Structure 1
Amino acid sequence: MTTADLSLSYEAAPAFSAPLRFFITAPLFGLVAGLVLIGAPELLESRWTAGALAATHLIAVGFMLNVMFGALFQILPVVAGAVMPNTPTISGLVHLGLATGTASLAWGLGTGSPPFLVTAVVVLGATFAIFLAAAAYGLLRTPVAQATPRDLRLALVGFAIAGTLGMLLATTLARGLALPLPMLVKLHVGWAWLGASGVLLAAASWVVVPMFQITPNYPAKLTRYWAVATCAALALWSVAVLMELALVELLLAAALAVLSATYAITTVRLQTQSRRSVPDNTTRAFQLSMVSLIAGLACVILAHRFDHELLPILAGVLILHGGFVSAITGMLYKIVPFLAWLHLSQEGLKAPNMKKLQPDAPVRRHLAAHAIALVALLIAAVSGSDLLGRLAGVTVVVEFALLLANMVKVLAAYRNARAA
């Protein structure tokens, strides 16, 4: 598949407010995660601390899922031709449910409060059901003609599985159900990181990287088989986890790591062939993302072999903050100004150049702050110092505050252009 093979239906795009509300809200949860780290720096000592669970879900659900759901409201109709019913109402309900449900989940995990955990299960469960039903309604009415639309379907299945496992875990914590928590956590993390977020990131990359980073297209075999092979390996790995087949589980985990590394290495290789003489900010963000993902995968494999609490912490920081947050941020800096330009053009207005909607200098400052925050988190995790942990929390707050400010500036430029 090439980007030329895709028929992008820009006329089917929803109102700018549909995805934008998610993009503006997402950095707020990252900012709160930094505040949690400032108040509880010991969360970097173990992934099982209350603070670590709260901060992880503030990033994974509050930041990542907000951006991903917002992007899907745009991608599904434009790329896959899947128009959701009554998008203004659905996007508003999903946004409200995701925001309130995430806040309740983080508070419940951080304080160990069963009522908040139960509330999160109900609200997030209803939110997932509404979003997935609306997406399925649109997708079932469209043919699967290219890799990206097919992979979007697989990602939605991954979100359904990861969300179900997460709600089961929260219910177990709230009600004390007699279920094997470590096994459920392992399955939840695997499907959330790879089956949902990983497949969605790859599906978006098949289009976004060649289009916005001016690279050659991904190899046809990779786009044709990668997501299917990843989901198949993940399903087999899940069976091995449930049946407690340790050796099979390790071999399949290694296969998943190879598949993930293949995607990351291919992306970096394509970026080196970009027609841009100097890599732009989005390319730099993606390069940091791919390198972090590879390093995080190495930590995951080592954690299967060596029982050391530091390795899962490093893997979480590298994959979540270094991998997904970097890539998502890079996409935001292309998608948001592009959507602003697109909607202005569709209204018949004189749209400013995208560089005027989103100047380079503020983006560079934010990405520098993001890289500093990543390094600070890794140093704090290795050192075990509360002081360094708090300093890392400050850098995370600064990073997401800058991202929020940059998103708001694009919105202000869009409104000024409409007013003029």
Structure 2
Amino acid sequence: MLTQATLSLEQAPPFSVPIRFFLTAPLFLFLAGVVLMIYGADALTFRWSPVTLALTHLFTLGFLGLVMVGAMMQMLPVLAGSPVPGVFWVSRLVHPLLTIGVSSLVMGFIQDGPFWMPVAMAGLAGGFAVFAGGVAIALMRVKLPSPTVTAMRLAVSGLAVTVILGLLLTASLVWPLPLWQPLVLTNVHLSWGLLTWVGLLVAGVSYQVVPMFQLTPEYPVPMTRYLSHALFMLVLLWSMLYLAGVVEWTPGWLAWGIVCVIGLGFTGFAWSTLQLQRKRRRKLPDVTLDFWRLGMLMLLAVFPVWMMRGLDHRFVLLLGVVMLAGFGLSVVNGMLYKIVPFLSWFHLQHRKMVQQGGVGPRIPTMKDFLPDTLARRQYRLHLLMLVTLGAAVFFPEVLSRLAGSLLSLSALLLCYNLVHAVRRFRAVSIELDRVG
């Protein structure tokens, strides 16, 4: 098992590289809550409405996308021993491009103006191209890829498909492109984004961070070795059959059966994670563990909700809530509460040992950087928001604005907690400067 002692920590990028993404992401989550408060039921009535699309992309690109981009720049040199070339300058270029791109995309959906969408396309295309190029070089340099590196390679490939389809769909909103079956392409775009980019990256990272940080046994070897490949190929096969099935080249039951297997694959991953967490060596309360458990429970619910989507159109919206807010937001939120304190502690400890030979002020523990009491408050608010948002799908006129306010409050509290850790980091860094 990979432990803190065997990580390639000396190759870690500067603290500023991932933290700029981590601190910006909650602001987009806050904006998602504001959009929900302003537009109310209109944001939770029809999945294709411009407001719903804006809300969706604030979750997927604004929060999940920024955190995962920053996390990959940090984790590649640490977990794989292969840093992104010029990572400092890559991060400084990618961050503003993605921030401008996401903001413009949301404005384009809401205002339906001709100015915002081209700006969004330029920002997102440029940002993801630079990111994917740098990360691809780092991933290809790994000679003996671990299951985590393999999952990262597949996730970045999924991101490329997602971005290309997204750019085509966005261009069709601005210019009269003869785009074939745009609604079908939208479903494929959504599936690649959620299943390969988000799903496979979370699974791959889990193979390392769950045993290391949560002190659990390792994942079963067959799962770590084969699951990512199998799910990626199944999503690819489903996409081909789904596109072909639109013009009746293939029977619909075949693509439907593949979706069931994909659902069972992610269900198996979630169930395995919960079982490993039940066997962890330290039984002390841990808010990060609570976020992960909630995320895995929501992932278990994704497939049953998908099965019920034909009963009522609202189950399609509920599927988005469960997958994005329930699974994605919960797991990434919990991951931030481990990654940021760990990076704060590591960078200061490493600097103290290298520059001062171990002499100097005491480096705070991970709990000192981000106390459980602060994270626990946000977890309770997040849980309340999730329940309210799920109920708002069925009672949008009554609960949508309340759900939006809870989402914004939860995002602000998350941002405050992360800033608290960064301020503590800077205070100790100043003390080290004085000693040095």
The TM-score range, normalised by the shorter chain, is over 0.9
| Residues 260-311 of structure 1: CA deviation (Å, up to 9, x unaligned) | 10111101111111112234111110111011112122212322xx162101
Aligned amino acid, residue 365 of structure 1: R
Aligned partner of 1:49 in structure 2 is 49
Aligned partner of 2:324 in structure 1 is 320
| Residues 17-71 of structure 1: CA deviation (Å, up to 9, x unaligned) | 0000000000000000000000011211111111110011011100001000000
Aligned amino acid, residue 88 of structure 1: F
Distance across 2 between alignment mates of 1:226 and 1:208: 17
The 5 Å alignment of 1:232-381 reads 232-244=233-245, 245=250, 246-303=252-309, 306=310, 308-348=312-352, 350-381=362-393
Contact 1:159-1:195 at 8 Å conserved across structures: yes
Aligned partner of 1:11 in structure 2 is 10
Contact 2:15-2:344 at 8 Å conserved across structures: yes
**Structure 2 residue 67 is matched with structure 1 residue 67:** yes
Contact 1:296-1:314 at 8 Å conserved across structures: no
Aligned partner of 2:434 in structure 1 is none
| Residues 68-97 of structure 1: CA deviation (Å, up to 9, x unaligned) | 000001111111122112111110101111
Aligned amino acid, residue 384 of structure 2: I
Structure 1 position 172, deviation (Å): 1.3
Structure 1 position 356, deviation (Å): 0.7
Contact 1:293-1:322 at 8 Å conserved across structures: yes
Task: Structure 2: state its 5+ residue gaps.
Answer: 353-359, 432-436
Task: Structure 1: state its 5+ residue gaps.
Answer: none
Aligned partner of 2:132 in structure 1 is 132
Distance across 2 between alignment mates of 1:253 and 1:301: 10
Aligned partner of 1:199 in structure 2 is 200
Distance across 2 between alignment mates of 1:147 and 1:4: 15
| Residues 172-198 of structure 1: CA deviation (Å, up to 9, x unaligned) | 122232321111111011100011110
Q: 3-state SS of the aligned residue for 1:347?
A: helix
Structure 1 position 149, deviation (Å): 1.2
Aligned amino acid, residue 318 of structure 1: V
Contact 1:265-1:290 at 8 Å conserved across structures: yes
**Structure 2 residue 155 is matched with structure 1 residue 155:** yes
Question: Does 237-246 or 394-403 show the bigger shift?
Answer: 237-246
Distance across 1 between alignment mates of 2:311 and 2:46: 13
Superposed CA RMSD: 1.4
Distance across 1 between alignment mates of 2:90 and 2:177: 33
Question: Bigger radius of gyration, 1 or 2?
Answer: 2
Contact 1:28-1:400 at 8 Å conserved across structures: yes
Q: 3-state SS of the aligned residue for 2:393?
A: helix
Distance across 1 between alignment mates of 2:308 and 2:128: 34
Distance across 2 between alignment mates of 1:61 and 1:5: 30
Count matched residues: 416
Contact 2:219-2:272 at 8 Å conserved across structures: yes
The alignment's TM-score, normalised by the length of structure 1, stands at 0.97
Distance across 1 between alignment mates of 2:39 and 2:138: 43
Contact 1:114-1:175 at 8 Å conserved across structures: no
| Residues 308-353 of structure 1: CA deviation (Å, up to 9, x unaligned) | 2101100000110010000000000000000000000111153111
Structure 1 position 6, deviation (Å): 9.7
Aligned partner of 2:425 in structure 1 is 414
Contact 2:3-2:212 at 8 Å conserved across structures: no
Contact 1:144-1:150 at 8 Å conserved across structures: no
Contact 2:216-2:280 at 8 Å conserved across structures: yes
Percent identity of paired positions between Structure 1 and Structure 2:
37
Aligned partner of 1:112 in structure 2 is 112
